[in-house]
Amino acid sequence: MHKGIWLGLGLSLCVSGAAQAVEPGQDDLLLSSPPASSGAGDVRGILRARDQAMLSSELAGRIVEMPFAEGQSFRKGDVLVRFDCAAYQAQLNAAQAATRAANEQLGHNRQLAALNSVGRFEVALAEAKLSEAQAQAQVYQVQVRRCALTAPYDGEIVQRKAQPFESVSGGAPLLEIVDNRSLEIRLLVPSRWVSRLKVGQSFTFVPDETGQPLQVEVKRLGARIDEGSQMLPLIASLPVDAKGLLAGMSGTARFAETP
């Protein structure tokens, strides 16, 4: 009877220990663990995009246009978000009018100074007012330019964080974008491999989603080994002709021989 109780407790402890070994937040350790059917030189990897960003609003305002939906492609320079900028445009028009007036006043004072009708102080004061008006106009020009958020590179919309006709505050996230043409493979390899890994070394990477082996090369190694897991980041480049790959895909890296 007691033997059966101890056996049950032992099994419970084993099951509990196995559950604790896969705690949430240990993605990096799981990423580097080879699958049950893989060889000793296999590690898990994931595709990451070099060019990906969460675009935020640089000013507070109401969105009037978001021409691209999730999953759609765009080109560098395309307008991704446009704000209602009637107020900023009116302020810019007023500042530009003040600049023209200050410029006319400066010209008039210079003519009077040539006739000795005004002194150098009046001319200098007119010059200062013109500089102030020009600076104010430049401030409003920057704000008006921020009314249209343009694409920094070719890419695709991952997710909209806001919708047309919503009012957002400055710094609010608007769009998550990614360029799937700039993909890299990120691996976590055992630190004991570091002495035999080198830039340009080739190995095979098989994405789970496609099952098609890709011949890839080590592009760079991480600058630091993680003290807890004793793992080293490794980044590899994909072949130029690789097609049908998306950021977030995972797969298995297979080295010809274990470093």
Domains of the chain: 27-50+180-254 (2.40.30.170), 53-81+150-178 (2.40.50.100), 86-145 (1.10.287.470)
pLDDT of residue 40: 53
pLDDT of residue 259: 52
Q: How far apart are CA 111 and CA 29, in angstroms?
A: 78
Put the strands of the sheet holding 73-74 in their side by side order: 52-56, 173-178, 155-160, 73-74
Which pLDDT band, with edges at 50, 70 and 90, does 10 fall under?
very low
pLDDT at position 35 over 60? no
| Residue predicted with more confidence, 55 or 35 | 55
Which pLDDT band, with edges at 50, 70 and 90, does 209 fall under?
very high
3-state secondary structure 33-57: CCCCCCCCCEEEEEEEECCEEEEEC
pLDDT tens sequence across 214-228: 999 999 999 999 999
pLDDT of residue 242: 86
- % pLDDT > 90, the chain: 63
pLDDT tens sequence across 92-120: 999 999 999 999 999 998 888 888 888 88
pLDDT tens sequence across 108-163: 988 888 888 888 888 999 999 999 999 999 999 999 999 999 999 999 999 999 99
Q: How far apart are CA 186 and CA 115, in angstroms?
A: 75
Q: How far apart are CA 173 and CA 81, in angstroms?
A: 12
Lowest mean pLDDT among 4-13, 112-121, 182-191: 4-13
pLDDT tens sequence across 61-103: 999 999 999 999 999 999 999 999 999 999 999 999 999 999 9
Average pLDDT for 11-39? 39
pLDDT at position 38 over 70? no
Which pLDDT band, with edges at 50, 70 and 90, does 196 fall under?
confident
| Residue predicted with more confidence, 252 or 14 | 252
pLDDT of residue 194: 87
pTM recorded for the entire structure: 0.70
pLDDT of residue 21: 39
Q: How far apart are CA 80 and CA 63, in angstroms?
A: 11
pLDDT of residue 25: 40
